[in-house]
Homo-oligomer: A and B are copies of this chain.
Amino acid sequence: MSRPFCHCGCKMCRAPGGGHCHAHPSCGAPTRAAAPDPLPPLDERSVAEALRLLKAGSGSHSPSVAEVERAIPGLVKIDACFLSNPYATDEAMRRLRAIAPRALERMVSHYPSQGGAIASMLAPAVGVPSDQLVVANGACEVIQALLARAPGPLLLSLPTFSAYYEFAAGPVVPHQLDPEQDFRLDLDELEAMVDRYEPDTVVIINPNNPNGGLVPEASLVSFVERMQGRVKQIIVDESFSHFATDGTPPTLAPLVVDLPHLVVVNSLSKSHGIAGLRLGYAVMSPLRARQIRGSSLWNLNAFAEWFCSLLSDPGYLRSYEGARRRYVRETRRLFGALGDLPGVRVFPSAANFALLELDRPASEVATSLLTRHGVYVRDCSDKWGLDGDRFLRVAARSASENRRIVAALSDVMAAPARQPLAAAA
């Protein structure tokens, strides 16, 4: 644990790990030659209080690692809160570093292309006609635009990604998933709720966040077909589909041509390890796509446009596919190891994270993990649809980081709970 020495607001100084800019006047980081003074470790109470304050300013989302770093520099060693493939990041970085200086300057100085032109470039990679494709400044941008246009009820299975209910333009009809059933989504139950509440929009995240539950493709296709004429739009969010199998990731995108009420959303942040570039897309009917595109202008930055061009580069695609399969294997190994820990229940997950139910409050465990081991995880006690305070979400990282995550959680769970659940309730 290093002293909070640096008051520099720059991204480098705020990001986790040892790197600092050493350039801005406010950067107080010691140069590599000089070792920092050894300091007493932070106590868990201070960290818990810092996390509480940060969380209070972050709404339903986690404070970014940059924000945690700004508040308590040097604390986060492993980010198992955000959901991203580190091997895929390696592949993206290799290409980014190879951009020639003059080309990089042109990317920074010029306006990027408009969304329609970028959709034409990306469409072959997604495997749909370009008039069905909306490329977005992150999936959240297109989710917001889709929901803003549907003022009627929104049917949403809980727990889920909070943006869906926060962006709802009308009433949200919650469909509670049952932890005793491993949060499994029952499509017959969902269909009965469609009949009862007549929603404009039904959302299915597949695999779901935060539990990773997967609806089999055939059942989902049949459900979507049955919804035709009964809802205005059914949004299938496939942001975690690349982690569901080390075979070909499933997608409903090719069905949009025959099922114009279907919208398939995807984020590249997680699968391709590029959350900082902001890039997502949605496949939808050409009519809907025209309406959504009309509400934005130059919404993609030059780095996102550059990344779209990578997706038609066979060399990159081969490397990405290797990174994806390797990560899927390491993720499954992590889930197995987590399931062996005492006091931990792991819900079945087809995504790159696991939802854990603990024998003690998740906030206590999250604070200990961060303070004692530098492992940042997601305390899910604020998640709508997760009853109680004992749920923790852990994201998979690289093989070596996963081993450190398991060892850290094993250490924390080996200590007696300070607040067992009965006392906490």
Contacts and interface: CB of A to CB of B under 8 A. Distances in A.
Contact of A9 (B57, B112, B299, B312): B312
Contacts of A148: 295
Interface string A41-64: 000000000000000011101001
A144 B296 contact: yes
A67 B117 contact: yes
Contacts of A300: 278
Interface string A211-226: 0000000000000000
A380 interface: no
A109 B276 contact: yes
Interface stretch (A11-19, A183-191, A245-253): A11-19
Contacts of A82: 110-111
Contacts of A21: 100, 103
Interface in A103-124: 103-114, 116-117, 121
A262 interface: no
B93 A277 contact: no
A38 interface: no
Contacts of A106: 11-12, 15-17, 19, 65, 276
Interface size class on chain A is 35 or more
Given A89-B105, A301-B277, A313-B24, A269 B15 contact: no
B64 A114 contact: yes
B315 A302 contact: no
- Which of A10, A59, A116 has the most CB atoms of chain B within a 10 A radius of its CB? A10
Contacts of A102: 17-19
Interface string A289-329: 00000111111111111100110111100000000000000
A273 interface: yes
Nearest to A84: B109
Q: How many copies does the complex hold?
A: 2
Nearest to A98: B23
Contact of A297 (B144, B273, B312): B144
A417 interface: no
A40 interface: no
A313 B9 CA distance: 9
A103 B144 contact: no
Interface stretch (A134-142, A228-236, A330-338): A134-142
A67 to B, nearest CB: 6
A97 interface: yes
A101 B90 CA distance: 12
Contacts of A15: 103, 106-107, 110
Contact of A108 (B12, B92, B163): B92
A66 interface: yes
B110 A275 contact: yes
A79 interface: yes
Contacts of A361: none
Contacts of A421: none
A23 B306 CA distance: 14
A45 B295 CA distance: 35
A99 interface: yes
Given A10-B309, A112-B66, A117-B64, A278 B295 contact: no
Contacts of A299: 137-138, 140-141, 278
A416 interface: no
